[in-house]
Structure formats: C-alpha cells, structure tokens
Chains A and B, each alone.
Chain A
C-alpha cells in the first residue's frame, strides 16, 4: 500500500489553472523528486497536499486516510512534515524553541497543565527538551541552541528548519528547495543529512529542487512539472534522456 497517494489533483485559482491531473504515489522510505521551471506549480502542489489550499478536484490519501478538507495542522499531525522555500522562521524565538514548538501535537497536558504547572506538563516538557537536543545534534546546530534564529548563518538556518520539520515525527518529509543559496560544501553536507534522516527515521522524502545533479543523486524517481502538468516521470536516467524534459527544462547550468 503506498504511503501517500494523490489522484488526479487539479486546482484553479479563480480562472487560472495552476495544477492539472497531478498523480503521485510514494512508498515508505522512498525518495522522490519534483523538478520543473519556475512558476510550474511545484510549491502549489506542496501547498495543496499539506492543506494550505483545498484542491478544486482530486483526492489525497495518506495510508488510505483522506486528507482533503483537513486543516494544515491536522495534516501535519498525521505525518506530513515540510520545509519552505523562503525559510519561514520565527524571528523572536531561539533555535531550541523552534524545534520544541514542532512537538505541539504530541503534547497531552492541555490548558490545565500549561496554566498550573502540573507534574505531567513538567514531565512532557522534559521529554521534549531531550528529543530536541538529540535533533539539534543530529542536524549539527546544537552549538546554536540558544541563539535567535535570525542571527544564524544561512546554511544553519536551513538545517534548523529541517530539524524543526523532523520534530513533528513525520512519515513523509516535504522539502521545498532545500539547497537554495547553499555553497558546494553545504550541498554535500545536505546530501549526507538527507540520506541519514531517511535511514534513521525511515521517512519518505519528497523534494522540489532546481539543482539537477542533487536531484539525480538522491532521488529514486523524479517527476517533471511544466505549467501544472506532469510531462515526464521516471528514474534519474530516464528523465535525463527524455526529449520532452530536455526541450522544456534542461538548459540550466548545474553548479558543482
């Protein structure tokens, strides 16, 4: 049974057709890629699956459970973690608080615990603190733990965002251009981190990227999106040689 299945998803923003008959099937632990020119609708597809918009047509199922119509935080709690293209961080919170916050749905102490400091709240917050430290160390940002995120170098901010997404205990991790703006060294580090995350947590990964070398190296299957429609789907080798893809998209210098 596929972990995530999207069937014939179509979405209109008013009169503009943004996505047309998008199909997706991700298995446990798979690493999938989505490439395409800017403005093709890749981030829109992320937003549709994670619940920010409700698709005009089509179904989205996670382990056979329907996701369409649920609030984004409910979908996230069911196991869809994500990072953002433009790094949506919380200006006034430090790194530790970012990762702690993502544990929100796993807390059971409720308002009573929050207002009156019950033993259950102290116990749960201690557990969250431990898990947070583990994640920070895994993503190599432990030394920044009490820094405000705004003061971190860019690469570290991206890793904090990933650590935060992993704190939600996802079954699938959606990465929106995880290497944008990174140096070649950080790129190599990111490949290592993604592989380690997939191995240790067993998460499936669905990523949007422009750097083709990165996508070819990591992903088992890749989809190519142009003007909201999939024009090709296959293994990295198949995509590289697909004439439609070459015609519509390839021509971008990949940076080594």
Chain B
C-alpha cells in the first residue's frame, strides 16, 4: 500500500523547482557567475567556437548566427550552455554559501558601500565582455542609453499617467545642444570651425555639456507641460506629437545646426564607463524621486487630481516637475547618443524612435523602475538579435507588444517598487 502512495505523490511544478534552484543565490552570487562567464569566454572562447564549427565567437548570444545559418543552431546552443548557462548557474549555486555570508556582512555596512561594490563588479564584467567585440560595445552602450530613455518616459507616461509622444523631441534637444557645445568648444569641424578651447580639456567638460543638453530639453518640456494643466489624454497626446514635429522641423531648417544634412564628427567621449555611470545616476536619481512623497504626488495627481488638490498637493508644480525631470534625462540620453553614433540628423528623432521608446516602456511596465530596465534591455536586445530578419523585425516586435497589451496591459513588471536594500540582501534558506 505505501509503495503506491509514494508513487502517486505529485512532483512540485516546474516553476517551483526552478525558483528553488535560483532563490538561494544572492545578487553577489549572480555577479560571481557572470564574472566567471566572462573569464571562460576570454580564455576558452576562441577554442570552443573552433571545435564547435562556429565561424567566430558568437557576439550576441549567437542569435545572429542562428538566424543566418540555421544549421549551426546546435553548436550555438552548446556554446551558450557551456559559456553562459553553466558558469552563471553553476558558480552561482556552488558559491551560494560563501556569497550569502559575504552579502550578509555587506548588509551591515551603509547601503552605498554595498551598491558601489556590486556596481564595480558589474562594470568589470561588462568591460571584459565587450572587449571581445566592438559590436558588443555598441549594443551595450545603446542599451544603456535606451534604459535612460525608457526610465525618463516612464516618469511622464507611467507615474504621471500622461500619454506623451514628445520624447524624441526632448532627446533631439539634448543631442543637438550637447553636440553644439562639444563641437564649438572642443573640436575642429566643418560646421563650427576650429575649437575654442584645447580639445584635451574636452572629456572633463563633457558632463557639463550633457547637463546643459538636459536643461535645454527640460525647458522645452514646458511647452508640453503647461498645456497639460488643462488637458489630458488624447488632447495632450496630440500636443506632444506636435511638439515632436516642431523640434524636428526646427533642427531641419536651422542651417547652422547642420539642417537636413545633420551634425557629425562629435568627439568619441561616450565611452563605456561614461555611459555606465550616467545610466546608474539616472536610475538612482529617478528611483529616489519616485519613492519620495513628492514623487508619489505624481501618482496622486494621476489617479485623482481633485482629491490631490484637496490634500494640499500642488498639482501644477507636480506636472511641471514630471515633464521636466523626464525631459532632462531624455536630453542627457540624447547627448550621450550623439557622442556614441557621432552623427545625428533630424531623421534620427522621428516617429520610428518614438515607436521604439513607447514599445520599451509599455512592454517593460508602467510606473516601475525595474520594468523600465527590463523593457529597455529586452526590446533593445531582441531588436538587435532579430536584425538578420530585417523588415520582419518590425512585425515581431509589434506582435510582442500586442500580446503584452492583451495579457498584461500595464506591462510585464508594472507598479513595482525598486528596493535596493532588498535586491542586494543575502537570501535566506527556507
């Protein structure tokens, strides 16, 4: 009788077993695994791809190779398993005891020490991961810029609840302003002539140029913020769309900004550490803001403006703050973008850019810092990985978005608080 009972006992569902596998690994453990992966690829990558008949080390998890030469799919999967899955999960689990104890020690120190250590380890991993390929470096930089864009539009569209289509406009204002400053003062180029200051000083003034770009975008945001006092929903969407076209036309018609031919030869100052630091700053500042009472006021005005008014919330100041904060970071992201691509023209900031940004924010999740990061990284990476499909990429991505809208309308990870303390904490054993 007992034998039959044992056989009929249900096995825990797949999801529970997977989560049991991963739940004991603290963030420190995952970082250890990622560092191991990078090391394995650095040392063994070339040899592994040779014996697996791969043409070269797969740059973006092998998706490009899989799509161009389907016969190599088993090889790519083997490579990904050996270089990514096994080190990350294996090292993660094996060192779980050690990393949990370490994380517990770090937990006792002020949170910023722990955060700095984790960020340094992450940056180390990214630095060596992108060492292998310039393409990886470009994709990573653009992904980080996408995170900043998604986070900043989430402040307006998610936390403030407006439907704003003006983000490419803010990005353009920041890009052109920052580029103008760096080109006028620090570079010899065809638009602005010789540099006014020694080019060697440039990288130190780059943050200032980015901030000025952000401020220009923030001032531009007033054009959309002030109408938002009296209108919402569809009407504001039209106003913000008009703003985007106005900015585009403006840069197209101003000859000394390059006009339709664009502005190029920005100095190569958007290095990986620079972009990484700005992205971390963006996440930190916006997260600080939305967790404060001043930040929650955005939600109050969104969910019921009359009640917010009666509860002493200054609704106009709240709306202006939301638009200007979102625009500032979009401007900074635009400035960084201009110096990564080292060429911008009016066409860069078009409806296509708007569609990409909206896809990232609505896919990742409204009103959520984690959601923005997840949305930006996933849509950006998927977009790059599907590049061989060319035109069909723009069928797959909207399809994904439609599915999300049907099954999870607010987005994948919406309305979730980003608690740094909890993320870096050691995982307890059940």
Contacts and interface: CB of A to CB of B under 8 A. Distances in A.
A115 B329 CA distance: 13
B296 interface: yes
B315 interface: yes
A100 interface: yes
A52 to B, nearest CB: 7
A73 B309 contact: yes
B312 A168 contact: yes
A104 B313 contact: yes
B289 A76 contact: no
Contacts of B312: 73, 76-77, 102, 104-106, 168
Interface of B: 285, 288-289, 292-297, 299-300, 303-304, 306-316, 321, 325, 367, 415
A110 to B, nearest CB: 8
Given A107-B293, A121-B292, 4 more contacts: A84-B310, A100-B293, A104-B293, A114-B292
B160 to A, nearest CB: 13
A89 to B, nearest CB: 7
B314 A82 contact: no
Nearest to A113: B292
The secondary structure that dominates the B interface is helix
B290 to A, nearest CB: 9
A1 interface: no
A72 interface: yes
Contacts of A89: 303-304, 307
A22 to B, nearest CB: 20
Contacts of B310: 50, 72-73, 76, 81-82, 84, 88, 165
Given A71-B309, A76-B309, A114 B288 contact: yes
25 contacts: A51-B309, A52-B306, A73-B311, A82-B310, A84-B307, A88-B307, A90-B304, A92-B367, A101-B311, A103-B293, A104-B293, A104-B297, A104-B312, A104-B313, A111-B321, A113-B292, A113-B294, A114-B288, A114-B289, A114-B294, A114-B295, A115-B285, A116-B285, A121-B292, A164-B311
A57 interface: no
Contacts of B415: 92
B332 to A, nearest CB: 14
Contacts of B314: 71, 73, 104-105
Contact of A92 (B293, B303, B315): B303
A93 B296 contact: yes
A100 B306 CA distance: 17
Contacts of A77: 312
Interface string A116-160: 110001000100100000000000000000000000000000000
Name the residue among B294, B295, B367 with the largest chain A CB count within 10 angstroms.
Answer: B294
Contacts of A117: 288
B100 to A, nearest CB: 27
A150 to B, nearest CB: 10
A173 to B, nearest CB: 11
B197 to A, nearest CB: 30
Nearest to A93: B299
A91 to B, nearest CB: 5
Contact of A88 (B295, B304, B316, B325): B304
